[in-house]
């Protein structure tokens, strides 16, 4: 490896050739401010906050400037500080500075940097462009009055997810981030994944807030309000309360939900186990009976909408299973309602999800039974955190409590649904036992773990080779689907998650500032916590869950039965514009 020697603020540094000044400075413990930069997503040098002196005639953007042998870099001179401060004031001069009421207050990179740069006044306050807030999407709100045009949302949408429904329009002072032809976000091919939100450094993008309707339901004496949190929520929620990234807060989560006033606290993990029973049986049926292969998982609503919109020819390949939280909603309003003599019309199901696309999913007419939606409201991990704070609950000091029994019990296989490769591994744990006809001890399929964009493997079970693949993020899904279309792959089973890294870094999870993402990868840290939770549980296979066994014995009969299909399976819509 070729090394380059340079000095940064008088400190001798050696880094590999091709390293940027920004990265080199960080390796030396020197922090250079950034706004438009987002590691592995956006490196364009547009905001000019990372300006440094390299001895050239003009200051250079450290995020795109490669190091060179003998380079002498200064990051903290009066001229640099003044340039950064002027650039910040120019950004603020056309910014909606209602910080106290902004959803990103205290987690806004613009706000943080303005404070660090010592900006106490804006010398260039003048004409402001006023934009209409775009509320057309069921999941995402766009407020260009707060946009700083860093382009991080564009890079996430086009560069990472390969969707590209937003981009720059206009020139100069009239530039803005829009959908093509003045369309609204709800009218274009957005898949509702929310990766633009987690990339945004300010409050220009946020999830559609459903917290008030949840509070209203809790306060309604005629409603029986059930809440269910997804697996990924428990390894991220603590970050909203100052806890270390990847801290597992399962017990505190149950305790907080109980104190908020929900009537029952169930667990989406229960339905993840149920999903494996239905999906695994469906896979075996397709393999044994000549069904459509490869079968592709259907847990991720962003991925489902992506297929419906951009690759409708793969709709027959999708598992017909509803996603886990929709399954649990259906079970609550049927099996649970009957067992407890509750009118399903009075049951209100709230899902706490790491995902903004779940908001869109819950409104799909296909996900209902007897005229009742399976899930009535979806709130993100961030929204739940805001509700806990609003309720005055001291989350960090809460004791650990359990989820309510009956529909609140899950296995380790269910927990790992939150990480890319988790659904595949959970399915293999059950399918392997069924095909082998015995309880296997080897249950960890490490070949499908990790954050690589596309993972491929061949698993031999009962003498039968099953070719599998896992992809995370729709940009990687595109590569996989094109490979299948070209006849270059022959898989039986594919898992695809719409978000990079899977649900642990979904669009509704706590937002990690760019400077933290430079040194810590939330995909890795949160997934590690997911697998630790799995390893700590006594039951780690979905078909071993006694509550699931009881559901089939008392109500469904067997996986993929007629009743199971009525409640737990769905159909899809061709959304492509032909």
Domain containing 99 — which CATH number?
A: 3.30.70.20
The arithmetic mean of pLDDT across residues 520-528, rounded, is 97
Q: Is residue 470 part of a domain?
A: yes
The arithmetic mean of pLDDT across residues 398-411, rounded, is 95
CA distances from 179 to 19, 184, 208, 311, 574 (A): 34, 6, 18, 21, 22
Residues 370 and 405 in one domain: yes
Supply the pLDDT for residue 488: 94
Q: Facing residues of 205 across strands? A: 142
CA distances from 476 to 174, 244, 257, 303 (A): 34, 29, 36, 11
Residues 151 and 253 in one domain: no
Supply the pLDDT for residue 522: 98
Residues 325 and 427 in one domain: yes
436 pLDDT tier (thresholds 50, 70, 90) = confident
List residues with catalytic annotation: 279, 282, 299, 319, 358, 361, 366, 503
For residue 393, the domain's CATH number is 3.40.50.1780
Picking from 52, 76, 100, the residue at the C-terminal end of a domain is: 76
Residues 524 and 398 in one domain: yes
Q: Do residues 236 and 508 lie in contact, with contact meaning Cβ atoms separated by under 8 Å?
A: no
For residue 10, the domain's CATH number is 3.10.20.740
pLDDT > 70 fraction of the chain, expressed in percent and rounded: 100
Q: Do residues 366 and 571 lie in contact, with contact meaning Cβ atoms separated by under 8 Å?
A: yes
Handedness of CA 404, 351, 418, 434 (dihedral sign): positive
Residues 158 and 299 in one domain: no
Residues 150 and 256 in one domain: no
> Taking 80 as the threshold, does the pLDDT of residue 37 lie above it?
yes
Supply the pLDDT for residue 385: 98
- Tokens at residue 453, please? 């964009």
Q: Are strands 205-207 and 140-142 parallel, antiparallel or unpaired?
A: antiparallel
Helix, strand, coil percent content, the chain, rounded in steps of 5: 45, 15, 40
95 or 1, which is more confident?
A: 95
Residues 249 and 133 in one domain: no
Q: Is residue 577 part of a domain?
A: no
Picking from 155, 174, 207, the residue at the C-terminal end of a domain is: 207
Q: Is residue 420 part of a domain?
A: yes
CA distances from 17 to 63, 163, 505 (A): 15, 33, 31
Supply the pLDDT for residue 173: 85
> Taking 70 as the threshold, does the pLDDT of residue 578 lie above it?
no
> Taking 80 as the threshold, does the pLDDT of residue 427 lie above it?
yes
> Taking 80 as the threshold, does the pLDDT of residue 577 lie above it?
no
- Tokens at residue 576, please? 């492509």
The arithmetic mean of pLDDT across residues 500-506, rounded, is 97
Residues 330 and 373 in one domain: yes
125 pLDDT tier (thresholds 50, 70, 90) = confident
The arithmetic mean of pLDDT across residues 328-357, rounded, is 98
Supply the pLDDT for residue 446: 86
Supply the pLDDT for residue 559: 96
Q: Is residue 85 part of a domain?
A: no
Supply the pLDDT for residue 109: 98
Cα–chain-centroid distance for residue 434? 32
3 pLDDT tier (thresholds 50, 70, 90) = very high
Residues 292 and 222 in one domain: yes
460 pLDDT tier (thresholds 50, 70, 90) = confident
pTM over 0.85: yes
Q: Is residue 84 part of a domain?
A: no
* Number of structural domains found in the chain: 3
Q: Is residue 241 part of a domain?
A: yes
Residue 134 per-residue DSSP state? B
Residues 72 and 101 in one domain: no
> Taking 80 as the threshold, does the pLDDT of residue 104 lie above it?
yes
Q: Do residues 32 and 61 lie in contact, with contact meaning Cβ atoms separated by under 8 Å?
A: no
Supply the pLDDT for residue 447: 87
Supply the pLDDT for residue 398: 98
Residues 397 and 414 in one domain: yes
Q: Please, what is the average pLDDT of the chain?
A: 96
pLDDT tens column, 550-561: 999 999 999 999
Picking from 175, 207, 239, the residue at the C-terminal end of a domain is: 207
191 pLDDT tier (thresholds 50, 70, 90) = very high
Supply the pLDDT for residue 24: 97
Supply the pLDDT for residue 440: 85
33 pLDDT tier (thresholds 50, 70, 90) = very high
176 pLDDT tier (thresholds 50, 70, 90) = very high
Q: Is residue 396 part of a domain?
A: yes
Q: Is residue 465 part of a domain?
A: yes
Residues 461 and 338 in one domain: yes
CA distances from 358 to 104, 107, 395 (A): 21, 24, 25
Cα–chain-centroid distance for residue 129? 32
The arithmetic mean of pLDDT across residues 112-124, rounded, is 94
* Structural domain range at position 126: 91-207
- Comparing 224-228, 262-266, 435-439, the range with the smallest average pLDDT is 435-439
């Amino acid at each position: 490896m070729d090394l380059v020697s340079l000095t940064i603020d008088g400190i001798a540094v050696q880094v590999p050739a091709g390293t940027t000044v920004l990265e080199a400075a960080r390796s030396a413990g020197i922090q250079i401010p950034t706004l438009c930069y987002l590691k592995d997503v956006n490196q364009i040098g547009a905001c000019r906050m990372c300006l440094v002196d390299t001895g050239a005639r003009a200051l250079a953007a450290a995020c795109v400037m490669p190091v060179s042998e003998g380079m002498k870099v200064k990051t903290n001179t009066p001229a640099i500080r003044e340039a950064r401060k002027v650039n910040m004031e120019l950004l603020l001069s056309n910014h909606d500075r209602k910080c106290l009421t902004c959803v990103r207050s205290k987690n806004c990179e613009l706000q943080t940097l303005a404070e660090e740069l010592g900006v106490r006044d804006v010398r260039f306050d003048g004409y402001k462009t006023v934009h209409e807030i775009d509320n057309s999407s069921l999941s995402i709100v766009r407020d260009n009055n707060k946009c700083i045009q860093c382009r991080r949302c564009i890079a996430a949408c086009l560069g990472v997810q390969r969707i590209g429904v937003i981009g720059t329009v206009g020139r100069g002072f009239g530039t803005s981030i829009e959908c093509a032809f003045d369309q609204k976000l709800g009218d274009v091919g957005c898949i509702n994944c929310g990766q633009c939100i987690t990339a945004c450094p300010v409050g220009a993008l946020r999830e559609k807030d459903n917290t008030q309707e949840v509070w209203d339901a809790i306060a309604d004496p005629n409603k029986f309000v059930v809440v269910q949190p997804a697996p990924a929520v428990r390894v991220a929620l603590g970050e909203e309360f100052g806890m270390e990234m990847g801290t597992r807060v399962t017990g505190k989560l149950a305790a907080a939900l109980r104190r908020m006033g929900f009537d029952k606290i169930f667990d989406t993990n229960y339905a993840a186990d149920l999903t494996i029973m239905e999906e695994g049986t469906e896979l075996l049926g397709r393999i044994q009976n000549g069904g459509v292969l490869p079968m592709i998982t259907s847990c991720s609503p962003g991925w489902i909408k992506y297929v419906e919109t951009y690759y409708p020819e793969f709709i027959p390949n999708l598992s017909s299973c509803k996603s886990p939280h929709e399954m649990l909603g259906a079970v609550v309003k049927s099996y649970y309602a009957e067992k407890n003599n509750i009118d399903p019309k009075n049951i209100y199901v709230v899902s706490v999800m790491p995902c903004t696309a779940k908001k869109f999913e819950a409104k799909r007419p296909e996900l209902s039974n007897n005229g009742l939606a399976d899930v009535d409201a979806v709130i993100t991990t961030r929204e739940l955190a805001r509700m806990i704070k609003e309720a005055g609950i001291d989350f960090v000091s809460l004791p650990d409590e359990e989820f309510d029994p009956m529909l609140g019990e899950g296995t380790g296989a269910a927990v790992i649904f939150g990480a890319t490769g988790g659904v595949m591994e959970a399915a293999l744990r059950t399918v392997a036992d069924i095909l082998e006809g015995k309880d296997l001890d080897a249950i960890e399929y490490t070949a499908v773990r990790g954050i690589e964009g596309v993972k491929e493997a061949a698993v031999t079970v009962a003498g039968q080779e099953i070719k599998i693949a896992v992809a995370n993020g729709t940009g990687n899904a595109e590569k996989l689907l094109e490979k299948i279309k070209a006849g270059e792959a022959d898989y039986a089973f594919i898992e695809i998650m719409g978000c990079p890294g899977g649900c642990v870094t979904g669009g509704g999870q706590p937002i990690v500032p760019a400077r933290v993402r430079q040194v810590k990868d939330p995909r890795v840290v949160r997934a590690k916590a997911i697998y630790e939770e799995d390893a700590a549980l006594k039951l780690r296979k979905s078909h071993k869950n006694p509550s699931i066994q009881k559901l089939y014995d008392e109500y469904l009969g067997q996986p993929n039965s007629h009743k199971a299909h009525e409640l737990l399976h769905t159909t899809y819509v061709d959304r492509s514009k032909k």
